[in-house]
Amino acid sequence: MISFFKNLLRGQEDYLEFDNFNFKLVIIQELMYEQEVLTPKFDVYEYAKQVPVDFEATYDGVAPEVKNYFEAFKIPKRLAKYVKKLYLDGGNDIYLQLMPYGDGEGDEFDISEISPRELGQFKQLVEIDAQAVNYFSPEATDYLRSQGIAVKEYQHKVKKN
C-alpha cells in the first residue's frame, strides 16, 4: 500500500492502454460520468474558457480540440476493476462533450473492433448494454461474446401501419 502512494506521488502510476479511441470513450463514460471515480470530470464549456473551441465550425461533428484532450487523457489502471457493465447511448455525456450539438445518431462513435490487449484490462466486465445505439460492428460484438461478455444489441423496430 505504501508503494502505491509513493508511485502516485512520483507520477509513476500505470495507465490503461487503448488501441481504439471509441472504446476508450465508453470506458471514460462509465468511470467519469456514471461512477464519478475518474477525475477531473470534463466539461466542454469550462474547457472552452481555457482552450479556444470553435463550436460553429464543428456544429455537426466532433470538436478536434476536445478529441485531442481525450486522446491524451490517461486513465489509471487501478480504476479498471470498477468497469463491470457498460451502457451505450447516443445521449451519453461523453458524446455530448465531443459533439455538444450532436444527436449521437451518426457513425462518429462506432466501434469496429476491440483488441485483446485493451479488453484484457477489464477483467470484471460482464455486460454491455448497447440496445439504444448500433455502435458495435458484428465482429466486435462476436469478439466480446467470445470473451464471455453479454452484449445486449440494438434492435431497430419498424412500426407497421
Does pLDDT of 156 surpass 70? no
Cα distances (Å, whole numbers) of residue 7 to 1, 4, 73, 75: 10, 5, 19, 15
- pLDDT value at residue 80: 99
Cis peptide before 76 (omega within 30 of 0): no
Does pLDDT of 102 surpass 80? no
Q: Could you report the per-residue pLDDT of 6-50, keeping only the tens digit for each?
A: 445 556 899 999 999 999 999 999 999 999 999 999 999 999 999
**Least confident residue range of 69-73, 86-90, 102-106:** 102-106
More confident residue, 144 or 90: 144
- pLDDT value at residue 161: 54
Residue boundaries of the structural domains of the chain = 15-153
Q: Could you report the per-residue pLDDT of 107-141, keeping only the tens digit for each?
A: 788 899 999 999 999 999 999 998 767 788 889 99
What average pLDDT does the chain have? 87
More confident residue, 89 or 15: 15
How many residues are given for the chain? 161
- pLDDT value at residue 118: 97
Distance CA 22, CA 113 (A): 10
Where do we find the cell 460492428?
137
Where do we find the cell 440494438?
154
